[in-house]
Copies of this chain bind each other. A is one copy, B any other.
Amino acid sequence: MPEYFLGIDGGGTSCRAAVSDRSGTILGRALAGSANISTDLDGALQTILAVSREALEQAGLDPDLVLYPAYLGLAGSMTGQAGERLKQHLPFSGCEVRSDGLIALEGALGPKDGMIAILGTGSLFMARQDSEVRALGGRGFLLGDHGGGARLGRALLEECLLACDGLRSFTPLLERTMAGFEGDVSSVIAFAKSSAPSAFAAYAADVFKAAGQGDEAALQILGEAARLINLSLDKIRFEGCEALCLLGGLSKSYKLWIAAHHRELLREPEGDGLTGAISLAIRTFG
């Protein structure tokens, strides 16, 4: 049985690594930039190797990666063969590459069964019962991710333009949003053309706040997002499911929008994706 274990949580904006002993006590950590294997496999590989070595050095351990087993949870590894291709280039003594959703689930629930909803820029749902895992969502900004902040922001700007054209009524939220563009429709269009999903997601907080004040446009946008979130939870929920953790930047905001039969399962997450990766590394290779 190995003495030390690497866990890696690689997302679209940052990649974190940790090394632990057999008890799961974390001895060293490191943080680097994004590691998205579906958009940049080579860059992701280099980032993963560097951040792993740095975590080992932080722990005062030999940074030769061939000495350690690693469990990787990576964004973009749920579709396509990128995860398998990456695995061929990894030098670890043992290695498992799964989705960042799976390590988030392990981190939130520990070894227990249940489900998670990751509600950040995008939206992703996972449930586990025994060894069976169900996943839903995370399809990206353009066609999916209906519960994510980026879609909320895009829907807000779309309603703004409809209001400017007189095709729907203005609400205080739409007025405030247009004021942020000095009332200029072409600025809204230019923003939309040049912005990443995260920039759209920056409007999500405004939408939630306005909904709390009864803003009709905010309630409409969130009502549709929440409908699809609750439908997704219905779809992945196993019979007898006892726990639901909301994760991601919008987890607190969405709490009130979760349907009652899911809300009664809500609990705080035990840990994050990185502790989940460590825990899975120990379960897999220990």
Residues of A within 8 A of B (CB): 79-80, 136-137, 139-140, 142-144, 154, 157-158, 161-162, 165-167, 185-186, 188-189, 192-193, 228, 231-232, 235
Contact = CB atoms under 8 A, between A and B. Distances in A.
A contact face: mostly helix, strand, loop, or mixed: helix
Contact of A140 (B79, B144, B189, B235): B189
24 contacts: A79-B185, A80-B186, A136-B165, A136-B166, A136-B167, A139-B161, A139-B185, A139-B189, A140-B189, A140-B193, A142-B154, A142-B192, A142-B193, A143-B158, A143-B188, A143-B189, A143-B192, A144-B158, A165-B232, A165-B235, A166-B235, A167-B228, A167-B231, A167-B235
A188 to B, nearest CB: 7
Contacts of A139: 161, 185, 189
B137 A186 contact: no
A167 B136 CA distance: 10
A199 to B, nearest CB: 13
Contacts of A232: 165, 167
Nearest to A188: B143
A79 B143 contact: no
A79 B186 contact: yes
A201 to B, nearest CB: 15
Contacts of A185: 79, 139
Contacts of A157: 143
A188 B166 CA distance: 34
Contact of A189 (B79, B166, B193): B79
| The 5 A-B residue pairs with the shortest CB-CB distance in the complex, in nearest-first order | A79-B186, A143-B158, A142-B192, A166-B235, A167-B231
Nearest to A39: B193
A89 to B, nearest CB: 21
